[in-house]
Every structure is written in C-alpha cells, then in structure tokens.
C-alpha cells in the first residue's frame, strides 16, 4: 500500500484484521485493547503510514452521545423486546438512543439512516433488513461513528456483529424431537434472504444428517402467523405422515399450531412443534410451546460491550437455550 496522509482508520483496520473500533481503542491507548490487538494495529500503522491526529480525535470524542438504533420490524414481539432491552443498556452507559423501524425494507432502512446521518451520531446499532449490502453498511462507519450489527449477519461486512447461536438452537430442537423417536421432520418458515434463516436451517439439517434422516423437508414462508399456517398446510399435503416440525420462530409456530387445529391435530400429541425466540405468549398457549430461548438482555449487553470497549473479533455469539414444554 502506498504511504499517504489520506490513509484512514478503515485502512488500518483492514490491514490489521480487526474492527475500526478496536483500532480506535489502540490509538487512544486504552487498557481495554488486548496486547494482540495492539501488536496487529501497530504493524498495520507501520505498513500503511497512517498518521493519528490526536487533536482532531479529541474534538470528535466530544461530538455526541446519541446512539441510533435501527430495528428491522418493531411489529415483531421479539424485536420489540430486544429494542427495549437495548435502549435500557444504552442508557446505563450514559448515552441517549433514537430508535427507528425499517419495516424489513432495505430502501426505508437506507433513507432513515441517511436522515439520521445529518446528526452527530456516535453509533449506529442495526438489525439489517433483507438484502442489505456490505458496502453500504461498512460505509456508515467512520472516525466519528461506530457501527454494530445484531441478530443478522451481512455477508462480507467488516463491522462487529452480535448473533444468537442460531445453528445450535435448531440443532438442539431437532435432536430433542429425534430423541423421542420422531423421525419424519420438517423445517417450517423463514426468508432465504436473511442470514438467520440459513443458520437455523443448517442446525436442523446437521441434526438430521447425524441421525441419517432425510433433511430436505423444507417449507419456506413469510415469518408471521399467516406464513406458518400456509407452510404447514403445504407440509400436511406433501407429508401426510409428518411427525414433528422445527419452526423458524415462535410467530411462525403459532400459525403452524392454528393450521394443525384446523386439521384436527394436537401439538405434542399428534405432531411435535418447536419454535424459536421464546416469546412471552409461548408459555401461555393452550398447549405450551417448546422453543429456543434467546436472552434479549444478553444480546443487548453484548452489543453495549462492543459499543463501550470495541471488539477484537468480528462476530460474537450469544448462547441460546432449548425450553421443552408440552408441544
């Protein structure tokens, strides 16, 4: 790389193989940066010829305490629960938050962020809408603004990302059904344009492959109750001997259960059903729903840890827990 005063923190981060926020911690001589990160950043600075302007950095550090939280769908109960947990944790750090809803629309997301960028935003915390591009996301990050993704991964993006252990969750769900002697399984719901769909499907398929069972019984749908009903109807037509389903999320599972009721089938008795998210209503259903719990507070705390301390690694996985109930 040609040495030039135009070299940016982004260049240093790319060469060092760390996040921009980690580079900033090292430049500020923070104790929160690991020795390994310091060595990587020092080598990258030597290679790129980056020049750190401490005076300008000092002025930037006083620019704002405003955190912009961009949620993908606030009508989804889990997204709303996560948003509340995140706002609480952001406030504990002494920051103010501004929350907007993209409605799963990448254009709305882009327009909202463009408007917010006119203010002195300290950080964007984003649950990416489907089809979000890595170059758009990475371009949001600069010397003044930190960017963190959560819940969904954008392929090839370099910004830090906090994810639940999606693959592990559906793996445990499928293994639980298999342990009960249920072998004719299907995966219900999900949008193939989002990363968590692929991760959750992969966990389901891994469990079935280990048990030498067919793993191609997949019924995609929108991630809502209607999608669950529609996909379950297709499943019952295609697989009249179906014994169990792992659902993309709890909302889809609610639709699945509604369709089973129409067909005169009882969850947990005729067909095993497991969701994902552990919404508050899941435990209160007529047949309490088995599900994979994502701790919204744990996700929010992990995001805020990166917000405060930076991240040596690109991704942080939050553990999940299988909750077995009557379904």
CATH of residue 273's domain is 3.40.50.2300
pLDDT in tens, 107-148: 999 999 999 988 889 999 999 999 999 999 999 987 678 999
Work out the angle at residue 326's Cα, subtended by the Cα atoms of residues 185 and 246, and round it to the nearest 5 degrees: 25
Taken in order 268, 225, 125, 42, the sign of the CA dihedral is positive
Domain count, the chain: 3
- Do residues 118 and 176 share a domain? no
- Grade residue 162 by pLDDT with cuts at 50, 70 and 90: very high
- Tokens for 77, please give them: 């109960």
Q: What is the 3-state secondary structure (H, E, C) of the chain?
A: CCCCCCCCHHHHHHHHCCCHHHHHHHHCCCCCCCHHHHHHHHHHHHHHCCCCCHHHHHHHHCCCCEEEEEECCCCCHHHHHHHHHHHHHHHHCCCEEEEEECCCCHHHHHHHHHHHCCCCEEEEEECCCCCCCHHHHHHCCCCCCEEEEECCCCCCCCCCEEEECHHHHHHHHHHHHHHCCCCCEEEECECCCCHHHHHHHHHHHHHHHHCCCCCCCEECECCCHHHHHHHHHHHHHHCCCCCEEEECCHHHHHHHHHHHHHCCCCECCCEEEECCECCHHHHHCCCCCEEEEECHHHHHHHHHHHHHHCCCCCEEEECEEEECCCC
Whether 52 has a pLDDT exceeding 90, the answer reads no
Whether 263 has a pLDDT exceeding 80, the answer reads yes
Q: 171 lies in a domain?
A: yes
Please say which residue of 159, 179, 198 terminates a domain. 159
> Residue 173 and residue 192: Cα distance in Å, rounded?
20
Note the pTM of the prediction, 2 decimals: 0.81
Whether 210 has a pLDDT exceeding 50, the answer reads yes
Listed residue (139, 166, 136, 141) closest to 151, CA to CA: 166
Listed residue (14, 25, 40) closest to 158, CA to CA: 14
pLDDT of residue 42: 86
Whether 2 has a pLDDT exceeding 70, the answer reads no
Work out the angle at residue 200's Cα, subtended by the Cα atoms of residues 237 and 253, and round it to the nearest 5 degrees: 50
pLDDT of residue 61: 52
Q: 275 lies in a domain?
A: yes
Taking residues 53-68, report their average pLDDT: 64
- Grade residue 55 by pLDDT with cuts at 50, 70 and 90: low
Please say which residue of 159, 187, 211 terminates a domain. 159
Higher pLDDT, 101 or 49: 101
Whether 58 has a pLDDT exceeding 80, the answer reads no
- Do residues 155 and 91 share a domain? yes
- Do residues 153 and 196 share a domain? no
Whether 222 has a pLDDT exceeding 50, the answer reads yes
- Do residues 271 and 177 share a domain? yes
In the chain, what percentage of residues exceed pLDDT 90?
Answer: 71
pLDDT in tens, 6-44: 777 778 888 888 877 788 778 777 666 788 888 888 888
Whether 170 has a pLDDT exceeding 90, the answer reads yes
pLDDT of residue 313: 67
Burial of 309 by CB count in 10 Å (0-12 exposed, 13-18 middle, 19+ buried)? Answer: middle
- Do residues 263 and 178 share a domain? yes
Taking residues 84-98, report their average pLDDT: 94
Q: 249 lies in a domain?
A: yes
Listed residue (87, 131, 83, 138) closest to 109, CA to CA: 131
Please say which residue of 114, 144, 159 terminates a domain. 159
Listed residue (229, 225, 200) closest to 215, CA to CA: 200
pLDDT of residue 309: 84
- Do residues 83 and 20 share a domain? no
- Do residues 46 and 72 share a domain? no
> Residue 144 and residue 117: Cα distance in Å, rounded?
11
pLDDT in tens, 301-327: 999 999 988 876 678 999 999 999 999
pLDDT in tens, 172-192: 999 999 999 999 999 999 988
pLDDT of residue 57: 57
Question: Containing domain of residue 268, as a range?
Answer: 166-293
Whether 256 has a pLDDT exceeding 90, the answer reads yes
pLDDT of residue 311: 75
- Do residues 39 and 86 share a domain? no
Taking residues 288-304, report their average pLDDT: 97
Q: 90 lies in a domain?
A: yes
Higher pLDDT, 99 or 61: 99
pLDDT of residue 67: 95
Q: 306 lies in a domain?
A: no
Listed residue (79, 291, 53) closest to 170, CA to CA: 291
- Do residues 201 and 118 share a domain? no
Which CATH number does the domain housing residue 13 bear?
Answer: 1.10.260.40
Q: 186 lies in a domain?
A: yes
Q: 323 lies in a domain?
A: no
- Do residues 255 and 172 share a domain? yes
pLDDT of residue 325: 97
Q: 317 lies in a domain?
A: no
> Residue 203 and residue 220: Cα distance in Å, rounded?
16
- Do residues 199 and 265 share a domain? yes
- Do residues 272 and 220 share a domain? yes
């Amino acid at each position: 790389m040609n040495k030039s005063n135009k070299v940016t923190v982004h260049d240093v981060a790319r060469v060092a193989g760390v996040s921009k926020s980690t580079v900033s911690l090292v430049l500020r001589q923070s104790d929160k940066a690991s020795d390994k990160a310091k060595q990587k950043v020092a080598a990258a600075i030597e290679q790129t010829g980056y020049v750190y302007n401490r005076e300008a950095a000092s002025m930037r550090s006083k620019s704002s305490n405003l955190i912009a939280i961009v949620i993908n769908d606030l009508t989804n109960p889990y997204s709303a629960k996560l948003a509340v947990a995140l706002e609480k944790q952001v406030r504990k750090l002494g920051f103010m938050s501004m929350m907007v809803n993209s409605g799963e629309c990448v254009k709305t997301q882009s327009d909202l962020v463009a408007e917010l960028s006119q203010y002195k935003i300290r950080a964007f915390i984003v649950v990416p809408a489907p089809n979000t591009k890595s170059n758009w996301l990475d371009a949001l990050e600069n010397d003044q603004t930190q960017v963190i993704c959560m819940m969904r991964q954008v392929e090839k993006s370099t910004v830090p990302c906090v994810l639940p252990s999606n693959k592990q969750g559906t793996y445990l769900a499928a293994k639980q059904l298999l342990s009960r002697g249920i072998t004719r399984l299907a995966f219900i719901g999900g949008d193939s344009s989002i990363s968590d769909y692929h991760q959750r499907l992969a966990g389901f398929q891994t469990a079935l492959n280990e048990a030498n069972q067919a793993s191609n019984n997949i019924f995609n749908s929108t991630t809502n109750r209607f999608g669950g009903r529609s996909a379950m109807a297709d499943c019952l037509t295609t697989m009249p001997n179906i014994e169990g389903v792992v659902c993309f999320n709890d909302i889809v599972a609610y639709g699945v259960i509604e369709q089973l009721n129409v067909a005169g089938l009882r969850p947990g008795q005729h067909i095993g059903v497991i969701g994902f998210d552990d919404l508050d209503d899941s435990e209160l259903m007529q047949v309490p729903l088995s599900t994979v719990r994502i701790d919204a507070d744990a996700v929010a705390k992990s995001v805020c840890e990166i917000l405060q301390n930076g991240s040596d690694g690109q991704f942080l996985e939050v553990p999940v827990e299988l909750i077995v109930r009557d379904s």
